[in-house]
């Protein structure tokens, strides 16, 4: 919580808005859990949550907090989103093979 508050870059800060932004980590985790349980990949919703997090906490802090909050088995799906948004480079987290469904969904979005 202290780490998140230290890196929070939203100028019009109030406690409620800060808590709402922190909840986005839970939303991403829930979307990834749903995907791994056999549901569809909500790629646009994941992107939206990540974009907000990257904007209010910065790239480095967001990736650090995701590393703490998101289970390691979900990183193959999360990693392509972070690369797509340029929060990670291709040579970071090299031991994690990327999910093909996530890659294809992001390629489809990039074509639009």
Q: Where are the domains of the chain?
A: 2-111
Contacts of 14 (CB under 8 A, 6+ apart): none
Q: Which residues of 40-71 are buried (b: 16+ CB within 10 A; e: fewer)?
A: ebbbeebbebbeebbebbeeebbbebbeeebe
pLDDT score recorded for residue 90: 78
Per-residue pLDDT of the chain (112 residues; tens, 9 = 90+): 666 666 666 666 677 888 898 999 999 999 999 999 999 999 999 999 999 999 998 999 999 999 999 999 999 999 999 999 999 987 888 889 999 999 999 999 999 7
The three-state secondary structure class of 93 is coil
pLDDT for position 7: 63
CA atoms within 13 A on the CB side of 96: 21
Residue 10 is predicted with a pLDDT of 63
Provide the pLDDT for residue 91: 82
């Amino acid at each position: 919580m202290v780490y998140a508050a230290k890196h929070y870059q939203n100028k019009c800060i109030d406690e409620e808005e800060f808590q709402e932004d922190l909840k986005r980590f839970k939303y991403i985790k829930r979307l990834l859990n749903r995907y791994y349980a056999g549901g569809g990949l909500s790629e646009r919703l994941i992107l939206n949550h990540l974009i907000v997090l990257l904007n209010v906490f910065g790239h480095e802090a967001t990736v650090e907090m995701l590393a703490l909050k998101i289970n390691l088995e979900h990183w193959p799906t999360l990693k392509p989103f972070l690369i797509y948004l340029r929060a990670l480079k291709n040579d970071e987290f090299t031991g994690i093979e990327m999910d093909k469904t996530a890659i294809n969904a992001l390629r489809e979005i990039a074509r639009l």
